[in-house]
Structure 1
Amino acid sequence: MRDLNDLTRPTVPSGAIQERMTAETEERRGVVGPAPALPDDAGAPAGLRTALGEVVAGLAPQIVELSHDIHDHPETGYEEHHAVAAVADLLRRHGIEPEVGVYGRDTALRAEIPGGGDADAAAAGSGESAGTIAILAEYDALPGIGHGCGHNVMCANSVGAFLALAALARSHPGALPGRVVLQTTPAEENSTAKEILAVRGMLDGVDAAIQTHSYAHDVTHQTWLGVRRLRVIFHGVPAHAASQPFMGRNALDAATLALTGIGLLRQQMLPMDRLHAIITDGGQVPNIIPERTELSIMVRSKYLETLKEIAERVEEVLHGAALMTGTGVEILTSEYCNEVPVRDNGPLLTSWVRSQRERGRDPLATGVLPETIAAGTDFGNVSQRVPGIHPLIKVTDRPDVALHTPAMT
């Protein structure tokens, strides 16, 4: 029972929720079984995979140092200047000159390992390309929290993988039949930068893309929701809130009704879908009827069809709030602001699972984690263009630590 004499502090969410979810995850793991993995004799030879593992072990201190450096200098979207400089510096120390500021974004970086194996020559003779794989990285932080989504680890993973492959190409000529591209991308949290970069050519000539995400478990595939972002402005008429409130049109009332309508709409949504909204401008002082309010809204859904439908219903709620209050409403969006669901590539996932098991890790299979803990990422916009995977990497031994919280940092 809460102490009614001290309501200055919030209640702490019950640990029973996390305990029950953890227990159910283990139960489903037993039912679903292990994740499918690529056979040992398929793909790259075992000896080459072992050599690559040894290279990674040698690079580990530098990879960890990069992760810690980015963690200690958190930067929000499009402001990742320290992070991109740290990545560029590490690449240069390994003899790789990156391009910084690619595709019109100051904090986007690209580097490349050219193909040079026997398969290249064979492909050249057949007129077919040996292929290009892109390793993506992101490094933006959360405002007020820092790296509560683990992007510092994700960036270090990707840069480390790229450096390891570059070293393998030098020590084992012909080991890489095709090109490998490292592409860092800004602003995953507050934008859909990968969509912008893709439109500007980031994926031109790329045949597949990979990127991991930090989490409390190794997970082969998890549901990633599509996201539509809306910026909403209600326009009212200011008036003295005491002497002549009847001469005003209250933009804050409109925002309040909009939030109420959004809350009621949630009942008619799929269990894994989400709606979140905040008021970013609610007026200046209480004795003036607010002339302007602004909301930031995110619509999330597993399917593109339901994402479109929910977004349309949200717009109806916003129009209704304007009608009820006599205010005007602007619904602002951008062709680059939408994230689409991730489409993981099955064969690539089996290769990743084998790699994880060779390192003593056992990723959860698809279907073990509940869909109700899904989130969103602009990697979905990549995976809908080229084959790709976005598996989760365990970075903590505490299953109760959630993303986007200070505890995750």
Structure 2
Amino acid sequence: MKEHLVNAIHQEEERLKELALFIGHHPELGHEEKLASGKLKAELERHGFRVESNVLGLSTSFIASYASPKPGPTVAFLCEYDALPGLGHACGHHLICTMGLGAAVGLKAAIDAVGGVIRVYGTPAEETTGAKVPMAEAGLFDDVDVALMAHPFHRFEKSGSSLAMDALQFEYVGKAAHAAANPQDGVNALDAVLQLFNGVNALRQQLASHVRIHGVITEGGKAPNMIPDYAAARFYVRSANRPYTDETVRKVLRCAEGAALQTGCTLKTSNYEYSYDELRTNEPLSETFTKNLIALGVDPDRIGEGQDHGSLDLGNVSRRCPAIHPYVQVIDEPHMLHTPEFRDLAMTERALEGMLLGAKALAATAFDVIAEPSLLQAIKRAFRQRD
């Protein structure tokens, strides 16, 4: 039966390649992905999926569904299609979304024989205000049995972990004054931001090694002869899990409050992006994907253990349903994501062939989940144990 889904993807490979190249050549930032989402929805409708647009009021989001006549599990493929500012598709999201679509098309060719539901989630803005976060909070994954996606990379990796993350903004308000004529009348907001950075830098020594805190000054004043009455900074605070991230955030907030007290400024704190939870890889589901990669001809020695590659909004989904996020090799040179080199190579024929391999492995894994009740039981048991 898996031959049917592999053949179905093979029959569509030229259209899938054209789709990936189109999206790659037309990069769009998060929540602006009108061309990408439009192309994906049109292709899904062509294959008989029912498409719901503007999910949760997000104009470039969608959920496409196909229900076989027989009842069965619900499997979800997740598509990302936002680009990076100034770099375009240097994270390979044009391959991710086409991989998910191809997997759904392949599985549809075989699902009527075993029963079940296929969903394709169009999830905008993974790089910033990831749509998976409000989707998960709204319960849109609560009835999903497994959620699957794969990420392009320069090597194969099993689904691993990611860092939980909070995006914090600190705004200080002081009092303007002439920096030479009457500095004693001013309250320097920039000094507060600098003290915040000093406090955070001192804090690092007392934090676990898996913590990452990095920030920038977004506003530091208008002219050197004026004491700034407003200054602001933005930070990402990350760690291996949500509880430790929350604890670290509380410490960073105290550094910010201390900086306000030292300088006499007032402080406003806020979250400028959604908070991401850590990815909880479902190991039985991950093992199934690895087996399918091997069955498709990948040398097991080329598949490395999962590693942390930053923060993912899929982490929030993985708290709602079993999920995986493996990495599929699409280039042969060791260039990292978010680089011009990866972006350019991700548009080559080699990368497109890697994308098709990933689509076949995703579809085959979803088929195994549907066709093998004992596997789904093991997946659900592992999911409950993580909680």
TM surpasses 0.5: yes
Matched residue, 1:234? 172
Alignment of 1:189-228 (within 5 A): 189-228=127-166
Structure 1's unaligned 5+ residue stretches are 1-47, 121-129
TM-score (norm 1): 0.79
Contact 2:80 2:93 in 1 (8 A): yes
Counterpart residue number, 2:329 = 394
Relative distance call for 1:53 and 1:200 in structure 2 (3 A) is: same
Amino acid at match of 2:166: R
Partner secondary structure for residue 163 of structure 2 = strand
* Contact 1:208/1:386 (8 A) holds in 2: yes
Unmatched tracts of structure 2, length 5 or more? 344-387
Between the aligned residues of both structures, percent identity stands at 35
Query: Deviation digits for residues 38-63 of structure 1, max 9, x if unmatched?
Result: xxxxxxxxxx1122212212222222
> Where in structure 2 are the equivalents of 1:6-405 lying within 5 Å?
48-117=1-70, 120=71, 130-169=72-111, 173-175=112-114, 177-333=115-271, 337-362=274-299, 368=305, 374-399=309-334, 401-405=335-339
Cα distance in 2 between the residues matched to 1:361 and 1:354: 9
Whole-Å separation in 1 of the counterparts to 2:109 and 2:200 = 52
CA distance in 2, matches of 1:268, 1:360: 47
CA change 1:163–1:192 in 2 (3 A) is same
2:281 counterpart letter in structure 1: D
Residues 75 and 116 of structure 1: is their aligned pair in 2 closer, same or farther, counting only changes over 3 Å? same
CA contact (8 A) 1:221 1:366 kept: no
Q: Specify whether residues 151 and 79 from structure 1 end up closer, same or farther in structure 2 by C-alpha distance, changes over 3 A only.
A: same
Q: Distance in 1 between matches of 2:67 and 2:252?
A: 48
State the one-letter code of the partner of 2:294.
R
Alpha-carbon distance in 2 for matches of 1:86, 1:174: 29
For residues 105 and 311 of structure 1, do their structure 2 counterparts lie closer, same or farther at Cα, with a shift above 3 Å needed?
A: same
Amino acid of the structure 2 residue aligned with 1:403: L
CA contact (8 A) 1:221 1:365 kept: no
State the number of aligned residues: 343
One-letter code aligned to 1:132? T
Distance in 2, matches of 1:62 and 1:265, equals 52
Amino acid at match of 1:359: L
* Equivalent position amino acid for 1:76 in 2: L
Find the structure with the greater CA-based Rg: 1
Question: Cα gap change, 1:67/1:265 in structure 2, threshold over 3 Å: closer, same or farther?
Answer: farther
Please report the TM-score for the alignment, with normalisation by the length of structure 2. Answer: 0.83
